[in-house]
């Protein structure tokens, strides 16, 4: 039954009016067909029965009429009767008869059909025998007029008329049925239209209601079922209007909430919940739409998969599946959105389930954390860099040594996740050697270094990516094939002071990515800094050692000077003061006892004081000649040179170039002390005959050159053994003074060729001009 | 919904119309236009009865045949023998059929019996009982109801109709009546032999003849309806009966005789008989003998029905 119903539902039109029409037509047709069939059968039966009755009557009557003639053998009478009967009834096809003593008398004009012999002496059927002839069906009726004798009367009656009538009646009935169907269809159409008009009206109102025209009502007050339906519709519309009003208020609240969420940067989307997999976007706020580069209206109706990155689909679906399975909300999940132009946005999402427009939906909250992720990534990279740099710095946080570089190289390779690397170090002459290597069998720089490709980084001061060639260090240092290998080389140090290079390579043909290159550069800088620091530490250590020696020397000199001053003070000034004291006591006594001796005493005291003062001035002058402060450098140098070299018989030659002028005090003091030390060394060690002083006053520098023709000395040896030779300390002191004032100091000397001291000090703007 | 689906109901609706008529199945297929027999066709006669019963034409031939056929059927049932009807022709009379052996038995009138007895020594087995239960019958002379004739003697000079020439009631007894009234055939203006009582009655009622002679029962029936007026009624004479041919074995003859005596035409055997009340033995049969017809035999000789 259900199958029949389903079949009917499939083939029948949807319109009620059409269905009613079809039903009515079907009913009328069915009734017509049944009627036709019934009438057909009844008519056929009736006509056939009538025919049979008629045939039997005709045959019986004819038989009765012919009986006597058959008995008497009155053939003429019989033939005449047959012909008359045949002529009088158009339904008769033939008549034949025979009697006990007569041949067959028949009405066939051309001879008796032999096929009819079968009817003679055959069983007599009350309804005759139906024959099929070339002219249609013929029913043969047989009558035995003379019981017990061989006499038969056969009448053949055509059934064509019956069939014609049958067809005619059938056609009439079917025609009437068809007319009835048409009339029924028309009547049904109008009736159904009349009936369904209120329903159509109701449907129209429902459509209007569905389109939002909530004020529409139906004014159909009939007391029938449609009237009840109209009343129910009006009630429903009232309730819907009230519900929509409440919904609007609620939705306004939701929209306000969503808008507020948009303003704080929260993206919100509503996804239809269909089996937890196939979600259609029902609503998105501007934040969400902007995130993926669309307008909100463009996204409505799209599948959520169109805005999700393929690698996030499974996680999203799993989360929503959990909601579909009963969880109220998901935890925070990170997903990737695919923007309209291919950009990706990493978002934090959380989902929950709500009812939206009477159907289940998933509310999807998301926040763009792309920037945060990038920063985190950046931070991780930075951390990695810092860790790498820390490791490198820690590894190299010690005085310079090959082990330091090896450890630094190892940490660098660890940080870069590489296993082949080497460190090239330059000496003071610019020659390089491999100070550390790892992942290589032997390390020796190519002969062209640093003019080879990797040495170019040293020349340019930039990172170089070098494809390994036959002259490359790597080509001969590893067992693996170097075809296609590439190594990266970063300089260590500053462009103005290159210390070496760090080179690293993959053990397979692979390109260096930007991060690794950046990290390598950072490591290079760190390593360079560490290397430079190591050098500086070494220099500092040396300098501090020198300083200590200088300080010790200075202290020693100071102590010597103090001793000298103390001796001179003690020997001269002290005694003079003591004499003065005695003299004063004598005066005191004289005042009391001998006032007359006061004056000579005072005169002697004055002379003693003058001598003492003179002695003190000599001491003071030796400490710091006032001429330096009063007259300047040149007069002070002249005085000192004359006083110390001249008295030794050394000829002093002066050459002053430039605009002689007063220099800042510290410049003059430094130049004076340097010259003082040089002069001291000359008269102590040089055994010179002549000393040339050349002072050049420039605009921005002052140059002092002191050249003697003495014995000279080995400068490196003297400086290297300064602790054993005071001259070495003196030279270091001179250099220290010059460098303290950002100047330069040279000493040129060789044994037997004299010595030349050159000092160049920069001048400041606020010098005093003569 | 596709067009084919939409048209399905309409097609179904139309096709039903063509399924309405259903024709009968013919019993036989014949061709009436071919295989024709040009010559005179005699049907194959199926006449397998052992014993034939002939008859004297009395009523219309068909009635005579039916009545005898019904009797034959009854005899067949009663005796177990097969009986058929032998229809005398113009060439072969009932007497000839008995005497030539074509018929074994015959339902005859007195004249035919007398002739058969004379010709071939046929014997009478039984004689019929008329409607009054009498084994005699009479003849009646009738006239039209409006006829002026009142007595037999008035018939002189008028036309007259006899029945069959061998009819007892239609010829033999009326001849006696005329003779007793002093009339001969020459006294008539004209006379005819109609061949049967019914034809005689028709001739009188239609005024073809002025008077006619027929069986009393028919005359009285017609007179009762006012169709004729009985002019005169004869004396009772032994009625018709059933004779047996001389070549029939005595056992068969005796069996048939005894069987006929048991006929109850108005009782249990009424349905087996065809309009037996119209016969001359409506109430059955009584035993008869040749001796009982001696008087009639003599009369028949006199009037020339029997040849001397």
CA angle A556, A561, A564 (to 5 degrees): 125
Give the model's pLDDT for residue A277.
Answer: 45
Mutation target vs B (from A73, A149, A164, A184; most B CBs, 10 A cutoff): A149
Predicted confidence (pLDDT) per residue in B28-51, tens digit: 888 888 888 888 888 776 667 789
pLDDT digit string (tens) for B210-230?
A: 999 998 888 999 999 999 999
3-state secondary structure of A750: coil
- The minimal CB distance from B62 to the residues A13, A26, A145 is found for A145
Q: Are residues B194 and B164 in the same domain?
A: yes
Name chain A contacts of B276, Cβ cutoff 8 Å: none
Which residues of A are less than 8 Å from B16 in CB distance? 29, 33
Say yes or no: B58 and B118 in one domain.
Answer: yes
Phi (first) and psi of residue A694, to 5 degrees: -125, 120
Q: Which run of H or E residues covers position A494?
A: strand A486-494
Considering the domain boundaries, does residue B9 fall inside one? no
Tell me the nearest-neighbour CA distance from A254 into chain B, angstroms: 44
Coil/strand/helix, residue A587: helix
Whole-number Å distance between alpha carbons of A235 and A205: 13
Does some domain include residue B231? yes
Identify the CA nearest to B65 among candidates A101, A715, A562. Answer: A101
Residue B24 lies inside a defined structural domain of this protein = no
Contacts for B7 with CB less than 8 Å, ≥ 6 apart: none
Query: Which chain B residues are Cβ-neighbours of A132 within 8 angstroms?
Result: 26, 28-30
Comparing alpha-carbon positions, the chain A residue that sits nearest to B91 is A72
Residue of chain A whose Cα is closest to the Cα of B32 = A113
Backbone angles phi, psi at B236, to 5 degrees: -75, 135
**Smallest Cα–Cα separation from B282: which of B199, B197, B217?**
B217
Same domain, B218 and B163: yes
CB contact under 8 A, A64 and B45: no
What is the interface size between A and B, counted as CB pairs within 8 Å? 170
- What DSSP string runs through A351-384? EEEEEETTEEEEEEEEEE-HHHHHHHHHHHHHHH
Tell which residue, A717, A691, A708, has the closest CA to residue A753.
A708
A152/B43 touch (CB, cutoff 8 Å), yes or no:
yes
Q: Is A748 on the interface with B (CB under 8 A)?
A: no
Q: Which tokens in the block code for residue A371?
A: 């920037």
Instruction: Please judge whether A113 and B30 are an interchain contact, meaning their C-beta atoms are less than 8 angstroms apart.
Output: yes
Mutate to test the interface with B, among A123, A148, A173, A181 (most CBs of B within 10 A): A148
A-chain CB neighbours of B55 within 8 Å are: none
Q: Which of these three, B235, B264, B289, is where a domain ends?
A: B235
Show residues of chain B in contact with A25, CB under 8 Å: 13
Q: Do B27 and A129 touch (CB under 8 A)?
A: yes
**Residue in B8, B26, B40 nearest the CB of A103:** B40
Token look-up 């939906």 returns: A361
Residue with tokens 């690698």: A311
B83 contacts in A (CB within 8 Å)? 148
- The verdict on B248 and B212 lying in the same domain is no
Closest CA to A767 of A682, A683, A666: A666
Of A27, A170, A183, give the one whose Cα is nearest residue B17: A170
Q: What is the maximal distance between C-alpha atoms in chain B?
A: 110
Q: Cβ separation of B45 and A150 shorter than 8 Å?
A: yes
**CA distance to partner chain A, nearest, from residue B97 (Å):** 14
Chain A positions touching B6 (Cβ under 8 A) are 13
Q: Are A35 and A181 in contact (CB under 8 A)?
A: no
DSSP string across chain B: --HHHHHHHHHHHHHHHTTS--PPPPSEE--SSSSEE-S--PPPP----SEEEEE---S-HHHHHHHHHHHHHHHHHHHS--EEE----SSS-HHHHHHTTS-SEEEE-HHHHHHHHHHH--EEEEEE--TTS-SEE-EEEEE-TT----SGGGGTTSEEEE--TT-IIIIIHHHHHHHHTT--GGGSSEEEE-SSHHHHHHHHHTTSSSEEEEEHHHHHHHHHTTS-EEEEE---EE--EEEE-TTS-HHHHHHHHHHHHT--TTTTTGGGSSSGGGSS-TT-EEE--GGGGHHHHHHHHHHTSS--
Q: Using CA of residue A668, residue A670, residue A676, residue A679, what is the dihedral sign?
A: negative
Question: Which residues, including other chains, have CB under 8 Å from residue A69's CB and lie 6 or more apart?
Answer: A75, A77, A78, A81, A99
The answer to whether A641 and A655 are in contact (CB under 8 A) is no
From A93, A153, A141, A98, select the one nearest B27 (Cα to Cα). Answer: A141
Q: How far is Cα A58 from Cα A52, in angstroms, rounded to an integer?
A: 9
* Count of domains forming chain B: 2
The shortest C-alpha distance from A198 to chain B (Å) reads: 27
pLDDT of the residue at B10: 66
Q: Encoding tokens for residue A315?
A: 């996680």
Q: Using CB atoms within 10 A of its CB, is residue B67 exposed (0-12), middle (13-18) or buried (19+)?
A: buried
Beta bridge partners of A308: A337
Q: For the segment B252-272, what is each residue's pLDDT rounded down to a tens digit?
A: 999 999 999 999 999 999 988
Is B39 inside any structural domain? no
C-alpha B76, offset from chain centre:
19
Question: Which residue of chain B comes nearest to A73, CA vs CA?
Answer: B89
Q: What is the CA radius of gyration of chain B?
A: 27
Residue B110: pLDDT over 90: no
B266 vs A555, B50, B128, CA distance in Å?
A: 195, 28, 13
- Residue B10 included in any domain: no
Residues B125, B244 within the same domain: yes
Per CB-CB distance under 8 Å, the chain B contacts of A148 are: 65, 68-70, 72-73, 83-85
Cross-chain residue pair A121–B44, CB shorter than 8 Å: yes
**Strand partners of residue B136:** B238
CA dihedral sign, ordered A385, A390, A391, A396: positive
Please indicate, yes or no, whether residues B126 and B254 belong to a single structural domain of this protein: yes
CA distance A363 to A271: 6
B168 lies in which domain range? 139-235
The full DSSP string for A636-650 is: HHHHHHHHHTGGGT-
Last residue within a domain, chosen from B235, B253, B280: B235
**Nearest-neighbour CA in chain B from A200: distance (Å):** 22
- Residues B222 and B100 reside in one and the same domain: no
- Find the length of chain B: 308
One domain for residues B125 and B145? no
Among A residues 47-86, those touching chain B with beta carbons less than 8 Å apart:
48, 64, 67-68, 70-73
| Mutation target among B28, B84, B107, B273 for the A interface, most CBs of A within 10 A | B28
Q: B154 and B282 in one domain?
A: no
The domain that holds B107 is classified in CATH as 3.40.190.10
CA distance B227 to chain A (A): 23
Structural contact between residues B94 and B233, judged by C-beta atoms closer than 8 angstroms: no
Q: How far is CA A299 from the centre of its chain?
A: 21
Question: With contacts defined as CB-CB under 8 Å, which chain B residues touch A77?
Answer: none
Q: For residue B22, tell me if it sits in a domain.
A: no
Q: What is the pTM of this model?
A: 0.44
Q: Judge contact between A457 and A464, C-beta under 8 A.
A: yes
- What is the separation of C-alpha A168 from the centre of its chain, rounded to a whole number of angstroms? 87
B13 and B46 Cβ atoms separated by less than 8 Å = no
Of B187, B216, B235, which residue is a domain's last? Answer: B235
Mutation pick from B14, B29, B30 vs chain A, by most beta carbons of A within 10 Å, is: B30
Task: Kindly list the distances between the CA atom of residue A535 and the CA atoms of A395, A404, A427, B176, in Å, as whole numbers in the listed order.
Answer: 15, 12, 11, 196
The length of chain A in residues reads 770
Judged by a CB distance cut-off of 8 A, whether residue A9 touches chain B is: no
Distance from CA of A344 to the nearest CA of B (A): 47
Question: Do B292 and B147 lie in a common domain?
Answer: no
User: Hey, is A694 helix, strand or coil?
Assistant: strand
- What is the complex's ipTM, to 2 decimals? 0.73
Same domain, yes or no: B148 and B215: yes
Q: Which of B5, B26, B40 sits opposite A11 (nearest CB)?
A: B5
Q: How far apart are CA B225 and CA A329, in angstroms?
A: 121
Q: Is residue B252 part of a domain?
A: yes
Query: Which contiguous run of DSSP H or E holds residue A588?
Result: helix A575-592
Nearest CA in chain B to A119: B28
Better-scored residue on pLDDT, B296 or A231? A231
Rounded distance, CA A494 to CA B149, Å? 186
Q: Block means of pLDDT (10 residues each) for chain A, length 770 residues?
A: 86 80 81 81 80 85 87 89 91 91 90 90 80 91 83 90 83 84 82 78 82 81 81 88 82 72 80 68 89 90 89 87 78 89 90 79 89 86 79 76 83 88 82 84 64 66 79 70 79 84 85 86 85 78 73 68 71 77 86 83 86 77 76 90 88 93 90 91 88 94 94 82 64 86 91 92 62
Q: Is residue B25 situated within a structural domain?
A: no
Alpha-carbon span B305 to B284, nearest angstrom: 27
Identify whether residues B107 and B242 lie together within a single domain: yes
Nearest alpha carbon to residue B106 among B90, B89, B91, B126: B126
Which residue in B35, B68, B84 is closest to A113 by CB distance?
Answer: B35
């Amino acid at each position: 039954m259900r199958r029949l119903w389903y079949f009917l539902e499939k083939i029948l039109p949807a319109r009620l009016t059409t269905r009613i029409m079809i039903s009515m037509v079907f009913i009328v047709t069915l009734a017509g067909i049944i009627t036709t069939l019934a009438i057909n059968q009844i008519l056929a039966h009736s006509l056939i029965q009538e025919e049979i009755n008629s045939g039997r009557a005709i045959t019986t009557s004819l038989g009765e009429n012919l009986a006597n003639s058959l008995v008497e053998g009155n053939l003429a009478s019989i033939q005449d009767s047959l012909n008359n009967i045949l002529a009088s009834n158009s339904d008769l096809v033939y008549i034949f008869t025979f009697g006990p003593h007569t041949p067959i008398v028949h009405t066939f004009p051309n001879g008796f059909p032999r096929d009819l012999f079968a009817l003679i002496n055959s069983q007599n059927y009350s309804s005759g025998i139906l024959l099929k002839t070339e002219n249609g069906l013929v029913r043969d009726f047989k009558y035995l007029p003379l019981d017990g004798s061989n006499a038969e009367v056969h009448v053949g009656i055509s059934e064509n008329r019956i069939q014609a009538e049958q067809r005619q009646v059938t056609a009439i009935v079917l025609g009437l049925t068809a007319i009835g169907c048409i009339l029924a269809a028309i009547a049904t159409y109008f009736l159904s239209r009349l009936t369904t008009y209120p329903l159509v009206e109701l449907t129209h109102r429902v459509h209007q209601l569905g389109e939002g025209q909530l004020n529409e009502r139906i004014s159909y007050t009939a007391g029938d079922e449609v009237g009840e339906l109209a009343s129910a519709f009006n009630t429903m519309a009232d309730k819907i209007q009230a519900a929509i009003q409440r919904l609007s208020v609620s939705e306004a609240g939701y929209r306000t909430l969503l808008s507020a969420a948009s303003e704080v940067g929260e993206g919100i989307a509503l996804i239809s919940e269909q089996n937890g997999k196939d979600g259609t976007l029902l609503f998105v706020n501007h934040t969400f739409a902007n995130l993926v580069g669309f307008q909100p209206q463009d996204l409505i109706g799209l599948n959520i998969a169109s805005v999700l990155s393929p690698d996030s689909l499974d996680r999203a679906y799993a989360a929503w599946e959990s909601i579909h399975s009963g969880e109220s909300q998901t935890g925070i999940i990170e997903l990737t959105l695919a923007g309209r132009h291919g950009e990706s946005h990493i978002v934090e999402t959380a989902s929950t389930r709500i009812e939206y427009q009477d159907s289940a939906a998933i509310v999807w909250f998301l926040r763009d954390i792309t920037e945060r992720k990038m920063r985190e990534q950046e931070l991780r990279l930075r951390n990695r860099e810092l860790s790498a740099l820390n490791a490198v710095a820690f590894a190299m946080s010690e005085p310079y040594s090959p082990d330091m570089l090896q450890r630094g190289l190892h940490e660098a390779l660890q940080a870069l996740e590489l296993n082949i690397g080497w460190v090239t170090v330059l000496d003071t002459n610019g020659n390089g050697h491999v100070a550390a290597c790892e992942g290589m069998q032997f390390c020796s720089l190519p002969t062209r270094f640093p003019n080879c490709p990797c040495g170019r980084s040293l020349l340019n001061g930039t990172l170089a990516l070098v494809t390994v060639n036959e002259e490359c260090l790597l080509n001969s240092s590893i067992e693996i094939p170097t075809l296609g290998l590439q190594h990266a080389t970063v300089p260590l140090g500053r462009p103005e002071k290159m210390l070496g290079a760090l080179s690293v390579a993959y053990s397979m043909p692979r390109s260096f990515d930007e991060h690794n290159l950046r990290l390598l550069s950072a490591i290079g800088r760190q390593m360079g800094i560490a290397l430079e620091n190591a050098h500086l530490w070494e220099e500092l250590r040396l300098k501090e050692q020198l300083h200590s020696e200088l300080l010790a020397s200075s202290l020693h000199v100071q102590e010597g000077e103090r001793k000298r001053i103390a001796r001179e003070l003690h020997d001269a000034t002290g005694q003079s003061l003591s004499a003065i004291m005695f003299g004063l006591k004598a005066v005191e006594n004289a005042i009391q006892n001998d006032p007359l001796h006061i004056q000579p005493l005072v005169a002697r005291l004055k002379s003693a004081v003058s001598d003492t003062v003179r002695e003190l001035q000599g001491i003071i002058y030796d400490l710091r000649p006032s001429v330096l402060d009063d007259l300047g450098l040149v007069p002070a140098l002249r005085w000192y040179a004359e006083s110390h070299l001249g008295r030794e018989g050394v000829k002093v030659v002066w050459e002053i170039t430039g605009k002689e002028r007063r220099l800042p005090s510290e410049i003059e003091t430094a130049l004076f002390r340097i010259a003082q030390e040089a002069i001291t060394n000359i008269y102590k060690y040089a055994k010179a005959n002549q000393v040339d002083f050349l002072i050049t006053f420039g605009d921005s520098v002052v140059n002092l050159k002191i050249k003697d023709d003495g014995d000279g000395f080995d400068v490196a040896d003297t400086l290297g053994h300064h602790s054993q030779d005071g001259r070495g300390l003196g030279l270091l002191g001179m250099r220290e003074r010059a460098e303290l004032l950002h100047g330069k100091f040279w000493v040129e000397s060789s044994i037997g060729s004299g010595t030349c001291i050159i000092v160049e000090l920069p001048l400041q703007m606020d010098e005093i001009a003569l | 919904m596709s067009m084919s689906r939409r048209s399905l109901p309409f097609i179904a609706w139309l096709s039903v119309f063509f399924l309405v008529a259903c024709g009968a199945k013919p019993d036989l297929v014949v061709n009436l236009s071919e295989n024709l027999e040009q010559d005179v066709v005699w049907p194959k006669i199926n006449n397998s009865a052992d014993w034939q019963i002939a008859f004297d034409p009395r009523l219309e031939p068909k009635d005579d045949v039916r009545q005898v056929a019904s009797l034959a059927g009854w005899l067949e049932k009663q005796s177990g023998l097969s009986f058929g009807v032998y229809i005398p022709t113009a060439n072969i009379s009932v007497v000839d059929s008995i005497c030539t052996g074509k018929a074994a038995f015959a339902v005859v009138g007195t004249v035919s019996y007398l002739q058969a007895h004379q010709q071939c020594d046929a014997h009478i087995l039984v004689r019929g009982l008329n409607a009054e239960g009498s084994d005699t019958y009479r003849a009646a002379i009738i006239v039209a109801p409006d006829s002026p004739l009142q007595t037999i003697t008035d018939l002189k000079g008028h036309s007259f109709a006899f029945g069959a020439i061998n009819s007892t009631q239609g010829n033999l007894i009326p001849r006696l009546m005329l003779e007793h009234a002093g009339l001969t055939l020459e006294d008539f203006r004209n006379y005819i032999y109609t061949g049967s009582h019914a034809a005689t009655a028709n001739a009188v009622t239609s005024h073809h003849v002025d008077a006619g002679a027929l069986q009393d029962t028919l005359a009285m029936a017609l007179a009762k309806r006012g169709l004729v007026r009985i002019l005169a009624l004869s004396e009772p004479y032994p009625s018709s009966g059933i004779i047996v041919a001389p070549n029939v074995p005595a056992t068969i003859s005796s069996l048939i005789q005894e069987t006929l005596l048991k006929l109850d035409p108005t009782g249990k055997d009424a349905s087996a008989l065809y309009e037996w009340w119209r016969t001359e033995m409506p109430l059955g049969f009584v035993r008869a003998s040749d001796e009982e017809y001696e008087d009639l035999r003599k009369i028949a000789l006199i009037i020339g029905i029997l040849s001397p």
